[in-house]
Structure 1
Amino acid sequence: MLKITSYLTLDTSAKQLVNHLNDEKTSLTFSENAVLIKLLDHSEEIWTKEQLLAEGWPDRVVAPTSLTQCISTLRRKLEPYSEIHLKAVARRGYQLHINERSHVKMVSLTDRDTLRAAFLDVGVMVKIAGAMVVIGLITLAWYQCEYHKVLKKTSEWSSDKQVELNIGGVTESATLLYKDNTDQVHKSKWQKHLAPESNIVEGLKGFSAFALTNGAHYSFASCPGYTLDDCNGEGIININTLTPEPAGLNMSEFVPLSQKMEDRIRYNRVLIPQDSVGNIVEHHYHADVYFPVAGEKLIRGDFSLSLVYEDGTSGQIYTTTCITDEDCVTTPIKWKTRGTFNQYQQKIGDYDVDVFYTNIEHKEFIKPDFVTPSAMRFYREIRRDDIQVTNMTLFRVHKTKDTAVWILPFMDGLVAWSKYEKVQF
C-alpha cells in the first residue's frame, strides 16, 4: 500500500487507487500499476521512457506508443485529484508532481494519519481560527447546559451570616440566606414586622430558624426546638413580608388564626392522581406561608410539591400554589405545574443543599371569581409565572425525617419550612 496523498493510496497488490474520503476504488491494469509505482518511487524525479517501459512491460519488447497510451489512461484516472500532475518532460521522460498544499483537498475523518497530515498541512492562522471555533462551540455548549444554569442559580445565594430573631418572646440566631447583590441584612428588616407588644407565643421555649432576603422581600421560617434536627413539623411559622412598612403582626393572635386557616380547608393535600397505575412513591412536601401587610387581611400561601423518583436523581415533579385570605373573601388563586426534575448536590456556604432543576411540561391557572386588593399582587405574580415560566429551580437547604427547609422561587425567592410525608400507591 503506497500513500499518494493524505487521503489517496495505491493498493499495489489489488492494482487499484483507493479514495478514503468516499471509499471509492479505481482499477488499474498491470502496466498502469507498475508505471505508477515507479513514478511514486521518487516523486519529482524524471523517469526516462526506457525505464518506464521496462517496469510496465518486463521481459517484453513493445512499441513506444504502448507507454504513451498507458500515460494517457493514468492521467484520466488521476484527473479527479487536482493536486496530482503527471507531466511529460520534453526529450527526457515523465515526472509525477504532487501538490500536498492544494486548497481543494479534503480529509478523511476515519483516517488518523489523514487527519494529522491535513492539520499539519494548513497554515498557522487557519489552525488558530479552527481552534477558536472549537473553543467557541464548547463555551456555548457549556453556557447552555443545565448544570451551568444550576451553578449560576446556586452562586446567587450565600449563608455566611446570622441574624437574631425574637419570636414569641424568645430570641435565637437564625441562619441567613441572602442574595449576594444585597447588603440589607440587619435584623430589623425581619423583626420590625412583628408587633413587639404582642409578640407572645404560649409554650415556646426555643426555636431554630432560617431567614432570607432577595433584596426586596424578607422571609423567615422557624420551628420549635433547640437544634435544626429537633423539628418534628409541629409549630412551624413561615412569614414573608412584601413591603418595607412594619406589618405590625400580632403574634398572640396570629398563631390561633393560622391554625384556624389551616384547619378550615386544605387545598393541596396529595398531588398525584389517585387513579395512578403502578407502585408509585410520592415524596410530598407542604408549607403554609403567611404574608402580613399593615391594615390588610392576612394572606396565606398554601405551597405543595411532590417528587416521584424514576432513578436516584431525576423524575416527575408536581407543584401547586394556592393563595387565599383569612376570611376566604378571595376565592382561591391556584396554579398547578407538572414536569420533570434533575437533582444536583451543591453548597450554599457551609450548607450542603439539594438543587432541583425542573422543566415545566404542563401548567394550569385557576382564575378566582373575586380578588381582594390585598391579594391582587399575588394574582399578578402567578399570572405572570403562568405566561412566562418554563423552568424553576428549588433548593432544599435542610431536611429531617419529618420536615424540610426550602428556598422556593415564588415572589423571586422565599424560605419555607415544610412538613414531609411519604405517600405510596
Structure 2
Amino acid sequence: MHKVTPYLELDEEAKQLVDHANNKTITLTVSESAVLHQLILSISSVCTKEDLLAAGWPERVVAATSLTQCVSTLRKKLEPYPEVVLRTIAGRGYQLNVSTRSHIKMLAVNDAESVRAALVDVSLLVKLSGIVILILIALSMWYFSDYHGVVKAKNSWDATKKVPLNIGGTEQDVQLIHKDNVAHLHPSMWQKHLAPESNHLDGMSKFNGYALTDGNYYSMAVCPDADQNKCLGKGLINITAIDLTPAGLNMQTFTELTHKMEKRIRYNRVIIPHDEPGTSGFVEHHYHADVYYPVQGNMLVRSDISLSLIYKGENVGKFYSAACVTDEECETTPIKYKIKGDFTQYREKINDLDVDVFHVKVTQKDLINPEHVSPSAMHFYREIRKHEIIDSDLYFYRIYKDSETAVWIVPILGNLVAWYEYDKVKL
C-alpha cells in the first residue's frame, strides 16, 4: 500500500485506490496503477514520459498517446480529491502534487502518522492563527467565568493600611479595608461619630477590630477584650456611619440602649424553615450580628442581620441571609429583607489578608414592607428596595473566624463590616 494522502492509498496488488474517508475503492487498470505508483515514488518531482511509459507498459513499445490517455483517465478518477493534482510539465513530463489540505480529513482515519503530519505540515501562519484562536477562546472563557467575577470583586478592595480607633477610652490600631478609589481614609471618618467627652466604657482594656469603607459608608466591627486569635462574642460593637455629620454618640448611653434593643424579639434567629427541601441531615452554619447606624438628631437604627450556610459539598451549598431593620422606639415597624441563593466559596487574599469569598447567585428575594417607616429608617428602606430590584450576584467576604465568632463584609444596606456571633444547628 502506498499513501497518496492520509486517507487515500494505492493498493498496487489489487490495482485500486482505497478511500478510507468515504470507505470506498476506485478500480484502476494495470497501466494506471503502474503509472500512479511511479508518480507517487517521485512525488513533487517531474517524471519523464519515457520513465512513465517504461513503468506502465514494460517491455512493450506503445505510442505516446497511450500515456496521454492514461494520464487523462487518472485525472478523472482523482477528481473527487482536489488536493491531489496531476500536472503536465511542458516538454518534460508529469508531476504529482499533494496539498497539505488533505490533512483536513485526517480525523476520518485512525492514523497517528497522518495526525503528526497534519500538525507538522501546516504553515507557520496557520499554526500561529490556531494558537491565537485558542488563547482568545481561553481568555473569553476566563472573562465570563464565575471565578473571574470573584477575582475582580475582591481586587476592588485594599487591605494594606491600619487605622487607630479609640473605643471606650482604649486606643488600638485595627485593620482597614477600603475600596481602591476611596480618597478619605483619615481616622476621623470613623472616630468623629463617637463623642470624645463621653467615649468611655468601664472595663474596656483592649479590643480587636476592623474598619471598612466603600466611600459612602464608614463601618467598624469591634470585639472587646479580644486578642488577634480569639473573641468571646460578648458585647460586640458594630457601628456604621451613613452621614458625614458627627453623630455625637455617647458610648455609655449607646451601650445601654443596645442592650435594651437586643432584648427584643430577634426576627432572624431562625431563618431556615425546618422543612426546607434538601437540608435534612445537614448542618446550618449560622452567623448573627446587630449593626447600628447613628445619625445626628435621629433615633438610633438597628439592623438585625443573619447569615446561614448549608454545605452540600466541599465549597458549595445553600446561602440564606436576612436583615430586619427597626429603630430604638419601634416607630418603624420591622423592615424585613431575605435572600436565598447558591454559594461557591473561594479561598483568596486581599493583599496579605486571608479571606473566604462567597459568591452567591441569588435565587429568591423577599421584602416584607413595613406599615410605617420613620424618617430615621427611610434611608434603609430605600436601600433595601434598591437591593431587591438589582441583586442577582453578591459577594460576601469572611475576613476573620474563630470557634465563637466571625467578621464578615456584607453587601446589604451598603458594604459594611460587622462582627458576628457564630453557632451551628443540625437540621
Tell me the TM-score normalised to structure 1 length: 0.86
Residue in structure 2 matched with residue 108 of structure 1 by the alignment: 106
Deviates more, 1:401-410 or 1:73-82: 73-82
Residue in structure 2 matched with residue 408 of structure 1 by the alignment: 410
State whether structure 2 residue 219 is matched by structure 1 residue 219: yes
Residue in structure 2 matched with residue 98 of structure 1 by the alignment: 97
Cα shift at 1:105: 7.4
Paired residues of 1:107 and 1:118 also in contact (CA < 8 A): no
* Alpha-carbon distance in 2 for matches of 1:89, 1:164: 90
3-state SS of the aligned residue for 1:415? Answer: strand
Residue in structure 2 matched with residue 76 of structure 1 by the alignment: 76
Paired residues of 1:219 and 1:240 also in contact (CA < 8 A): yes
Residue in structure 2 matched with residue 255 of structure 1 by the alignment: 255
Aligned ranges 1:378-417 → 2 under 5 Å: 378-417=380-419
Residue in structure 2 matched with residue 318 of structure 1 by the alignment: 320
Please list the CA deviations of residues 346-398 of structure 1 after superposition, one character each: whole Å capped at 9, or x if unmatched: 12233221111121222222222332233222222222222222111111111
* Alpha-carbon distance in 2 for matches of 1:412, 1:13: 83
Deviates more, 1:2-11 or 1:145-154: 2-11
Q: 1:98 to 1:393 in 2, by over 3 A?
A: same
Cα shift at 1:121: 5.1
Q: 1:330 to 1:28 in 2, by over 3 A?
A: farther
Deviates more, 1:288-297 or 1:370-379: 370-379
* Alpha-carbon distance in 2 for matches of 1:329, 1:34: 103
Please list the CA deviations of residues 180-228 of structure 1 after superposition, one character each: whole Å capped at 9, or x if unmatched: 3224222111111011233233333321111112222211001122403
Amino acid at match of 1:106: I
Partner of residue 305 from structure 1, selected from 304, 307, 323: 307
Paired residues of 1:238 and 1:417 also in contact (CA < 8 A): yes
Please list the CA deviations of residues 216-247 of structure 1 after superposition, one character each: whole Å capped at 9, or x if unmatched: 22110011224033312111010000111101
3-state SS of the aligned residue for 1:106? Answer: helix
Paired residues of 2:345 and 2:357 also in contact (CA < 8 A): yes
Amino acid at match of 2:281: N
Residue in structure 2 matched with residue 337 of structure 1 by the alignment: 339
Paired residues of 1:26 and 1:77 also in contact (CA < 8 A): no
* Alpha-carbon distance in 2 for matches of 1:42, 1:106: 23
Please list the CA deviations of residues 139-198 of structure 1 after superposition, one character each: whole Å capped at 9, or x if unmatched: 222222222222222222232322222222222222212223224222111111011233
* Alpha-carbon distance in 2 for matches of 1:71, 1:358: 71
Q: 1:64 to 1:284 in 2, by over 3 A?
A: same
* Alpha-carbon distance in 1 for matches of 2:77, 2:367: 71
Deviates more, 1:272-281 or 1:186-195: 272-281
Paired residues of 2:226 and 2:232 also in contact (CA < 8 A): no
- Cα RMSD for the two superposed structures: 3.2
Aligned ranges 1:26-65 → 2 under 5 Å: 26-29=25-28, 31=30, 32-43=32-43, 44-48=46-50, 50-54=53-57
Unaligned runs of 5+ in 2: none
* Alpha-carbon distance in 1 for matches of 2:79, 2:391: 60
Residue in structure 1 matched with residue 86 of structure 2 by the alignment: 86
Cα shift at 1:8: 4.1
Aligned ranges 1:132-281 → 2 under 5 Å: 132-276=132-276, 278-281=280-283
Cα shift at 1:294: 0.7
Unaligned runs of 5+ in 1: none
3-state SS of the aligned residue for 2:269? Answer: coil
Q: 1:61 to 1:125 in 2, by over 3 A?
A: closer
Tell me the TM-score normalised to structure 2 length: 0.86
Cα shift at 1:285: 1.0
Cα shift at 1:304: 1.4
3-state SS of the aligned residue for 1:410? Answer: coil
Amino acid at match of 1:406: W
Cα shift at 1:106: 3.2
Cα shift at 1:275: 1.5
Residue in structure 1 matched with residue 356 of structure 2 by the alignment: 354
Amino acid at match of 1:26: T
Please list the CA deviations of residues 84-108 of structure 1 after superposition, one character each: whole Å capped at 9, or x if unmatched: 233567898x734215266x97353
Paired residues of 1:307 and 1:317 also in contact (CA < 8 A): yes
Please list the CA deviations of residues 257-295 of structure 1 after superposition, one character each: whole Å capped at 9, or x if unmatched: 222222212111223220146311111111111111111
Q: 1:88 to 1:347 in 2, by over 3 A?
A: closer
Aligned length: 419
Deviates more, 1:280-289 or 1:349-358: 349-358
Paired residues of 1:239 and 1:290 also in contact (CA < 8 A): yes
3-state SS of the aligned residue for 2:263? Answer: helix
Amino acid at match of 2:247: A
Deviates more, 1:165-174 or 1:29-38: 29-38
